Structure formats: structure tokens, C-alpha cells
Chains A and B, each alone.
Chain A
Amino acid sequence: MENLNVQNNDSEMMVGEGVGFERIRRITGYLVGTLDRFNNAKRAEVNERVKHAVTREVKL
């Protein structure tokens, strides 16, 4: 599935030109392998997510 572009750079061979990172995110319960498949609204939602700090009070 990974088509890594290879190019010869004089003496040393380079790979990975144009290859993006995969970013797996959960969207309405389902995982999606890349943000490209999200619809516009959900893309916006993912971009606006903030993290939730785990504070001491969570400790039981």
C-alpha cells in the first residue's frame, strides 16, 4: 500500500519524497486511517479538539 518515491541523489539514494504521515483519529466512534476521509465539519471538529488534563482528583 505504500508507494514510496525513490530518487537518486547523486551518490546517496533517497526515499519517501511526497509520502505523508498517517494520522489515525477516532470519528464518531470509528477510527479512520487518515484525515483525508473526514467530511469538512468533522475535519474542523478534530482540529479544534483540546486535551483533557488528568488531575489528581481522578485518582481513586
Chain B
Amino acid sequence: MINTIVKRDGRCVLFDIDKITDAIFKAAQALGGNDRQTARELAELVVKHVEQAHTDDNPPTVEEVQDAVEYQLVESGHARTAKEYILYRAQRTRIRDMNTRLMKTYEELTYQSAGENDVKRENANIDGDTAMGTMLKYGSEGAKQFYHMFVLNPVHSKAHLEGDIHIHDLDFLTLTTTCCQIDIEKLFRGGFCPGHGFLREPNDIQSYTALACIAIQSNQNDQHGGQSIPNFDYGMAHGVRKTYRKLYSRNLAKALELLVGLENADEATKAVREKVHAAHGLYPVLADDNGYRDLELPELAGFADEPTLMKAQAFAVEQAYQETKRATYQAMEALVHNLNTMHSRAGAQVPFSSLNYGTDTSPEGRMATEAILLATDAGLGHGETAIFPIHIFKVKEGVSFNPGDPNYDLFKLACRVSAKRLFPNFSFLDAPYNLQYYKPGHPETEIAYMGCRTRVIGNCHDRSREIVNGRGNLSFTSINLPRIAIRAKGDIDFFFEELDRKIDLVIDQLMERYQIQAKKKVRNFPFLMGQGIWIDSDKLGPDDEVGEVLKHGTLSVGFIGLAETLKALIGQHHGESEYAQNLGLDIIGHMRKRMDDATRETGFNYTLLATPAEGLAGRFVRIDRKLYGEIEGVTDHDFYTNSFHIPVYYNISASEKIRLEAPYHALTNAGHISYIELDGDPLKNLDAFEQVVRYMKECGIGYGSINHPVDRDPVCGYTGIIDEVCPRCGRHEGEAVSVEKLRSLGCWNGNVDCGYCGDPNEEAARLPNSVVE
């Protein structure tokens, strides 16, 4: 006879046969059973079985009783119930493990620094050492565990935990969507409300850039991904226009005040300006080419004689132009500074901001583009390279690509700035898969990328709105491709069958996540939906569900490690043989086809993503190495290669890399990017830099970027390449240098606290002359 049982924590408690009956009955119920009596009889058999090995002096453990239940169910022919019971038991074990693990994670987050703890460095843009950064991690880790235990479909949870798939931003599973392209023109029209208090439509370029930052920051708090402006130049052009208009009247007033002693000149010139506008619909413009001066002249007749008035007008035009240009530059400088210092998400991170520009050919748009590039070139307060925003220069034939194109000068400038500061990246509007959406005169049809790569334009939900503005990704989940390849053991058919099963799984998982997102209300997203940033959300009330408008977004299936996949399948990656490249294209082409099929079947925008995988790069390979051991070229590095990239450690020329990666851009319609690593200082070979960009365009790359080392010695201020020794002051890392030496180099200002005294060489090399005339 058994009276007690030993629990997992070692406590002895009274044995209760009803608990066994309940467990068996629940397992049977899950299969539609409803026979409590049988459950009771089985429980009695279990007790008998346990009693064979245990007495009250030697009580059984919970695990032993559960083993006995499994045994008895199988023995008595209840195989399906047994299976269900085993599943239930495994699930309970998993939950217990997770609870223990969560507390362990919290302990590590609490007592380890980011230097020691990889979890704290999962995202390089969050400072895990700060109070808010750690608090964010507590929340994030706790949320993940909760979702695994109570929200996620157990099949999806298992696949994620075992590393078959990776559900990105899982900590936000029930909360929000990924990202959005903020239509800044639309947002500013009529003003907006970022929190408490209404912001009027801005009236000059300074307010335009300040509000652009606020828009990015506000929206960042409503979503878990980055934020982007697709039409930065078009949007800021309005600010430049208004600034010029104001400055023209102000300078005209100054001139008339001085020349003829006009009183209340500011009001007078402003009144004339509005009168001319009311009569002719024209304002003074930056290019001074719309005949405004001639229309204004008669209205000014009462103030002075004609030659004096014309002189005053000429003065106003000249001054207003210079002052507008200065104001625009200062506004962009402030924007760059703001986007590198302002915080979002409980202060834990700088917003992930991206700006797309380069195709507005109006004088005002060009001035805005030039100014943002020059401000980026100048760097931050001590000449440091700004980390945000991500700049994306739009390359388009006939607009900004070839000599003679109206914005070719800006393209050249973009190359030069990128060669120094790593940004801008380049997006290629002429790539066929981007060009198909392009309609001249409709900037919303120009492809825009979200910083790291996300791309949203095709729209099966509403074919009439295949645009970038107001849309974004809802969620994405990546498939562990190398694992499928390892398991296939060279069997290509098995590989594709298993890949299909994983794709099916992820398609379902993304849809289940959408179902959760769809139930959210406008009030859950005060800025994104409340201010009408997301497409069609302006037609909803605060208590309306967002499910319908979210259908404009994308559900994306990603992948990582194509190179390792090919290596595991056929022993070569796509940089090593044409055969491998063809198989690579088959695999990714198949995945794309599955996305297109799913789109057709569901009416949702399923797209294929070349996953950036910051947190994922190490996770999959760690699990796979444990499971399958170290496999050469597959699991023998500490990371799986980024999406379809040729491995970073493989020697290959720039042109070959571009040629091989370009076809994958056409297939990955949820986003892609290719990188080229340049040696040396590309500023010294701008021609080569531009040629690489041009070659990307010719090969059909959609989005590309060039990496090169950007180092800086904070002591002497040198910016460039530093190997072991600073080329300017000659110190090694961590070494002291004499003030005498710094003084002789002209980089010491006696500021012991800062040490930095400016960088005379770097400052001299800045772009002093504007390219826009």
C-alpha cells in the first residue's frame, strides 16, 4: 500500500489516486474520450504496478508514477491516449524547464555585464549595461517564455526552441508589427499629434527636420522594427520652399528699410507677397525662375521708385538663397545629431532610422539632399561618424545615375560621402523587379528600403496601391536551411520535401501571428494608426480593429546560410562552382514560388526575405554543432552566413560577388542587400568606389552597400584606417602620447578633460563647396 509520493522538489506528500485518474482522463478527453470509469480502472492498475516496486518506506517519485502511467496505457492497448499523455508530460517538463531557465536568465542579466553576457549584446544597438537596457531585456526574456508556454502553437514553439525556425522579435508576438515607411509629406500636411498637444504644420526647414525626428521616434515606440522615410527629399523640399519664401520677404524688407527707410517693412513685404500669391498663385522660389519678381514689382510701387525696388529685389533673391542654404544645412546637421542621441523604447535605444532620397530634382529637393549629405560628411561634434540615420541614395537612370542626369552631381557626392562615412547605401530603381512598379511623377512608386534591407511594394491585397508609403512588414520568421541540408545527407529530393514542410509550418505560424495582430485596436498604436501613418488607418476610429488595414503589410519567410546549405548538400557553396550557384538559385527560387503560391491562396502578401539575422547568426549554428558535430564549411564557424551571401571568409573579387549575388535580389522580394568589402581608404580611389556602385546597378542588384574600415583615434582625432598604430600621433591602442607631440601636430587645445581639439586635417578635407548651384 502506498500512502506518499516524492515530489520533484523532494517534498513527501500524500498519495492521491484521483490525480492519476484526472491525468489519464484529460489525455483521453483530448482525443474525444469521455469515459471516466475506464480512466479510474487504469489508474488502479497503475497503482498496482507501482506497488510492485515501492512500499511506504520507499515511496515512488512523481517521475516513476508517470512512467508507470505510460507503461500501463501502452500495455492495456490505449496507444493513442498514451501518446497524448506523453505529449502532455513533455509539455509540462518543458514549462518547468523554462521557468527555471527564465530565473537563470534573469540572474545573469542582473549580475553579468554586457561584456560577459551575450544575451545583453543580442542587439548591438541596445546598451545592455544601462538600467533601461536591462529592464528591456527582463521584459523581453519574460515575454518570450510566456508566449512559449501559453500563446504559441506548441508545434511552432517547439520548432523555434529546437532551432528549425526562428520567430523574429518573438518578445513582441502579441504586441505589434515590424516596421513602416512613413510618408512624411502626408504626415506634415495639416499638422499632427505625437503625444500630448498638437503640432502645427511646420513652417520652415528647421521645424521640418525636427518634426521628422519626432515622427520617427514616435512611430518607433509603436513597432518593434526600424522606421524609415521613403520620400525624405520630397518631404523636406516643402520646408526649404517655405524657408526661402520667408527669407525673401524678410530680406526685401531689410533692403527697403535701408534704402528708403520703409517702416513696418516686414509686415509690408509679407502683405505684398500674400497679395501676389492670391492674385497669381505664385510665391518667390529658390530658382527665381517663375516671374514672381515681375508680378511683385507693381505691388511694391508705393514704396520706392522702380530702379530702387529692382535693386532691393535682387538683394533679397541673393540673400534669401544663401540664408536658405545655410538654414537647410543647419537643419540637417541638427537632424543627424538628433537621430544619434534621441532615445526611444524606454530610453534603451536610439531609433533605428532610415532616410531614402536622391530622386527629387526640384531645386528645393536637391538642396535638401545636398545638405543631408554634407552634414553626414562633416560628422558629429568631434567629427565622429554618425551611426544613424541609415541613408539610402536612390539610383535611377535619367534622374541620378548618368552624367547629364539632373541629380548626377548628387550621386557623385553620395559616393564620396559613403566612401568616408559608410552611408549612404544605394538602392537601384532600375532593377527590373523594382522598375515594374515605377511610375514617373509618383514618388510613392519608387522603391524604398527599410535600413537593414526590408522591402515592401507589391500588394495583392490592393493591386491599385502597389506603393511603399504607409506600408511595412508585419512579422517574419526564418528557416534554418543548413540544418535541412545536413539532415538530407546529400539527398536533394529529401531536402526539398523537408524544406516544403518547414515552409508550410512558417506560413501557418505567420498567419497565426497575424490573427493576434489583427485583433489589436487603433488605440494600441497611438502614432502608427492614431495619426494615420499606416495606410488606410486614417479611416478607422480609436476602437476599431486593425486587421483589415494590416492586410497591406507583408508576412515574410526568411532564410539564413545558403552557403552552408550548399556546402552540406554538395560540398561546394555558390562561390565555388556554377553547379552550386544553380542549385542555390533552385532552392531560393523554390522558396519564392512557395511565397507566390501562398499569396495567391490566402490573399495575404507572403514574401521571401534574405534575413539579416543579427541575433540568429550564432544561435542556429550553436544548436546544429551540438546536434551534428563540427562539419567543415557548415558548422565550423561561429556563425551561419547572412542569407544568400557568399561567405565573408571566401576570397572572391568584387565583380564576381556582385554577379553571383544579384540574381537572388530578384527572388527575395521582402528585402535583400549585398555588401562589398573594400580595402584601403576608398576616398583615395573614389573612381573605384563609383565603379562598384555602377556595376551593382548593371548586374541587377536591388540594394547594395560598400564596407571599408572607419577607425578613429579619440586622442588626436585622426579618422581613417588605423592598424596597430595611429598614423597621426603614433600611439598604440591604450598608449599615452605626450601633449608636446599633440601640440606639434596642431591637435591639442589644452582641454585635458576632452583631449580632443578638432582634427585640422580632417576638417580641411571636408567638402567645403556645394555641388548644387
- Chain A contacts to B: CB under 8 angstroms: 2-7, 9, 12-33, 36-42, 44-45, 48-55, 57-60
Contact = CB atoms under 8 A, between A and B. Distances in A.
Contacts, number: 204
Contacts of A51: 677-679
Contacts of A54: 653-655, 678, 688, 691-692
A4 B124 contact: no
A36 to B, nearest CB: 7
A15 B422 contact: no
A36 B115 contact: yes
Contacts of A26: 422, 675, 705, 707
B638 interface: yes
7 contacts: A24-B710, A28-B614, A29-B451, A45-B638, A45-B639, A45-B648, A60-B698
Nearest to A3: B753
Would you list the 9 A-B pairs with minimal beta carbon distance, nearest first? Answer: A41-B618, A29-B452, A4-B755, A44-B638, A14-B736, A16-B715, A51-B679, A28-B612, A52-B654
Interface stretch (B32-40, B140-148, B159-167, B382-390): B382-390
A33 B638 contact: no
Interface centre among A14, A16, A24 (most CB of B within 10 A): A16
Interface stretch (B79-87, B539-547, B737-745): B737-745
A52 to B, nearest CB: 4
B278 interface: no
B637 A58 contact: no
Interface stretch (B188-196, B298-306, B726-734): B726-734
A23 B755 CA distance: 19
B490 interface: no
B125 interface: yes
Contacts of A13: 738-740
Contact of B694 (A45, A55, A60): A60
B735 interface: yes
Contacts of A15: 715, 736-739, 742, 752, 755
B711 A22 contact: yes
Chain B interface secondary structure, helix, strand, loop or mixed?
Answer: loop
B617 interface: yes
Contact of A28 (B388, B613, B637): B613
Given A15-B736, A41-B617, A50-B651, 6 more contacts: A15-B755, A20-B733, A21-B714, A26-B705, A29-B673, A33-B384
A27 B754 CA distance: 29
B612 A29 contact: yes
Interface centre among A5, A7, A28, A32 (most CB of B within 10 A): A28
A17 B691 CA distance: 42
A15 B688 CA distance: 38
Contact of A19 (B451, B615, B734, B740): B734
B641 to A, nearest CB: 8
A59 to B, nearest CB: 6
Nearest to B688: A54
A4 B694 contact: no
Nearest to B689: A54
A55 B736 contact: no
A17 B451 contact: no
A35 to B, nearest CB: 9
Given A29-B673, A30-B390, A42 B711 contact: no
B65 to A, nearest CB: 42
Given A21-B713, A52-B652, A52-B653, A27 B679 contact: no
A54 B709 CA distance: 16
A9 to B, nearest CB: 8
A45 B617 contact: yes
A30 B755 contact: no
A32 B638 contact: no
Contacts of B618: 39-42, 44
Nearest to B710: A24
A50 B677 contact: yes
B715 A40 contact: no
Contacts of B324: none
Contact of A27 (B352, B614, B736): B614
Given A16-B755, A20-B734, A37-B127, A31 B422 contact: yes
